[in-house]
Structure 1
Amino acid sequence: MSHAPVRANPSHAINAVGLTKRFGSIVAVDDVNLTVAPGAVFGFLGPNGAGKSTTIRMLLGLIRPSAGTATIFGERADDVRNVHRHLAYVPADVALWPSLTGAEILELLARLGPGVDGEYRAELISRFALDVDRPARAYSSGNRQKVALVAAFSTRAPLLVLDEPTSGLDPLMEREFRRCVIDARDRGQTVFLSSHQLGEVEALCDTVAILRAGHVVEVDSVTDLRRLRRTVVEVSYRDEEPLLTDIPGVGDVEHLDAKRLRFTMSGSPAAALRALAAVDVTAVAMREPTLEEVFLDYYGEASR
């Protein structure tokens, strides 16, 4: 890792410049640049194997980059002792001390971390329905995840780094997780959320970075990211079918049944609306694409 001076901006919760990690001939992460503002909920999106966890481990100073630099609130990520005073981390696979109870683990983590709100921790134990009197060896993967989430959310660390944090949780507990992220945001904490669950990211995040094969292919707000894609239009009609061929901005025309079709539209809708007005249209529905459709489009896997 290069030890050249880094121009760190403490107004950035996270600042990564050219982060690269090679394992032999394999490039796991390639020239990743990220800036996360304090108080943001930042989504880090990509399928398993895209390089999300490797990037996070570099941001946390747990592995050294092959190239590039990262800072957390202006401090170098490789200064682990200082950097970890500012953050709480939930890994994708939580490992606990098997002979300790949940309560003992939470108390130990509280002593090691950046300070805990004991009253809020008790509330979280109840909300997550966590039996803290059982030893960790008796916990399922979901309960191990709950311990890590309670420990992280009960801190007042300015940065929460969450790597696939809802793996193993049932839908009710996922709802509690989302409430906790919103609570953290409202307190002014920064949340860096790595996930492949698109609905989770779409519901919670202000800004999203999409990682593909170790490369960041887009960083934008969820709203603007959707607008990069085409609007989806569904039309029902009585007699003649609207003529949509060769209309600028119209594509992916698909017949849903005898008198109903779907198409995508980008740019000005004027020409498409004129084509629809020329026939007896009975219903029109328009919607923005979901983040899932945007994401699949980046990977060339969208079905329409």
Structure 2
Amino acid sequence: MITLKEASISYKRNKPVLENINQDIQPGRIYGLLGKNGEGKTTLLNVLSGQLFLNKGTCRIFGEDISQRSVNQLQQLFLLPEEITVPEVTGMQYIHMYAPFYPTFRDDIMKACFESFEVDFSTRLNKMSQGQRKKIAITLALSVHTPLLLMDEPTNGLDIPSKEVFRKLLAAFTDETQTIIISTHQVRDLESLIDSVIIINDKEILLNNSLEEIGQKLFFGIVKPEEKVLYKSQTPFGLLGVRENHQEEESNVSLEQLFNAAILQPEEIKRIINQ
């Protein structure tokens, strides 16, 4: 699906944002893309969508170098950016501007999004709030139903009920024929949907694993004060932590705790996950 080899990109000379990345991203998964501000999450999505070109290395998607930007390739992917620039057209006109380019476009998904988001699609986008415009953009992103869907902070600008609607629509109208990569800081908004995690740290992809693989190697839950842990935090429910899973204990992976552990102890996380 996606293969990155020696991939590097810089905005300024000798200041790489991403450096010498060698990774395969598998099809049919929903990935959570995590990283601190400025670590390159949006840059990676822009590379994968052909919006930015690498300074070094290659990025191949569907067997082609994305820098070629062939029509066939671009018809199979869609990027939902965090910041949306909209023309002075109605929501419906906006959808219909893009729909003909994508052979996978589905009217049933569009109609379901219309009903679920309760937005007046006859209103001009420039007259809508940021949250309403985001709903229009999400409707387009889901309706094109491309094999590769890239989403940059999709829940930003949505109120709490709308975030729940987004989760339901994503669960209902995506399937195993699609690979979805969602960059987010709001891990709790999407934790129930994500089945794999990519963590960017210090110009590299630190982690690229399924939650099942992570759960086999790491334990998430109540820990004792004297235990050796990778990360811990005091909560009203007790001392929660992340530690190596020596005894194959079952636990639910906490994306928030995983991310904090990975940032604090990246080498230990790599050692444990890759052993």
User: Is 1:179 matched up with 2:168?
Assistant: yes
For 1:89-129, what per-residue CA distance to the aligned partner results, in whole angstroms no more than 9, with x for missing partners?
211111110x2111111111112333422232122111111
Q: Give 1:91's aligned residue.
A: 81
Structure 2 partner of 1:16: 4
Of the candidates 78, 89, 93, which is equivalent to residue 104 of structure 1? 93
Shift of 1:185: 3.3
How far apart in 2 are the matches of 1:164 and 1:256? Answer: 27
Letter in 2 for 1:15: T
Q: Distance in 2 between matches of 1:88 and 1:115?
A: 11
Residues in 2 aligned to 1:263 and 1:148: alpha-carbon distance in whole angstroms: 37
Partner AA of 1:101 in structure 2:
T
Is 2:197 the partner of 1:208? yes
d(CA) in 2 for partners of 1:129, 1:89: 23
Residue aligning to 2:269: none
Match of 1:299 in 2: 263
Matched, 1:44 2:44: no
Q: Distance in 1 between matches of 2:195 and 2:157?
A: 25
Pick closer, same or farther for the CA change 1:129–1:219 going to 2, 3 Å: same
Q: Distance in 1 between matches of 2:240 and 2:4?
A: 40
Q: Does structure 1 retain, via aligned residues, the 8 Å contact 2:196–2:211? A: yes
- Match in the other structure for 2:271: none
The letter for the 2-side match of 1:294 is L
Q: Relative to structure 1, is the Cα distance of residues 268 and 149 closer, same or farther in structure 2, using a 3 angstrom cutoff?
A: closer
Counterpart-to-counterpart distance in 2, 1:88 and 1:205 = 18
User: For residue 240 of structure 1, what is the aligned residue in structure 2?
Assistant: none
| The one of 107, 115, 133 aligned to 1:126 | 115
Secondary structure at 1:168 match in 2: coil
Written as runs of structure 1 = structure 2, the 5 A alignment for 1:1-304 is 12=1, 14-24=2-12, 25-82=14-71, 83-97=73-87, 99-186=88-175, 188-233=177-222, 262=239, 266=244, 290-300=254-264
TM-score by length of 2: 0.82
- 3-state SS of paired residue (2:174): helix
Q: 1:251-275 CA distances to partner (integer Å, 9 max, x unpaired)? A: 9899999xx9748664557xxxxxx
Partner of 2:70, secondary structure, is helix
Q: How far off is 1:291 after superposition? A: 1.6
Check the 8 A contact 2:116/2:165 in 1, yes or no.
yes
1:234–1:17 Cα change, 3 Å? closer
* Count of aligned pairs: 260
> How far apart in 2 are the matches of 1:110 and 1:123?
16
TM-score when normalising by structure 1: 0.75
- Is the partner of 1:193 in helix, strand or coil? strand
> In structure 1, what residue type is equivalent to 2:4?
A
User: Displacement of 1:155 after TM fit?
Assistant: 1.6
SS at match of 2:60: strand
The CA RMSD measured in Å over matched residues stands at 3.0
Q: Give yes or no for contact 2:231–2:261 (8 Å, CA) kept in 1.
A: no
Higher helix share: 2
Question: Partner residue of 2:272?
Answer: none
Tell me which amino acid in the other structure corresponds to 2:163: E
Deviation at 1:184, TM superposition (A): 3.6
Partner deviation per Cα, 1:70-99 (whole Å, 9 max, x = no partner): 1221121012233211112211111110x2
**Partner AA of 1:295 in structure 2:** F
Query: Which blocks of at least 5 consecutive residues in structure 1 are unaligned?
Result: 1-11, 236-243, 270-285
1:32–1:111 CA distance, 2 compared to 1 (3 A): same
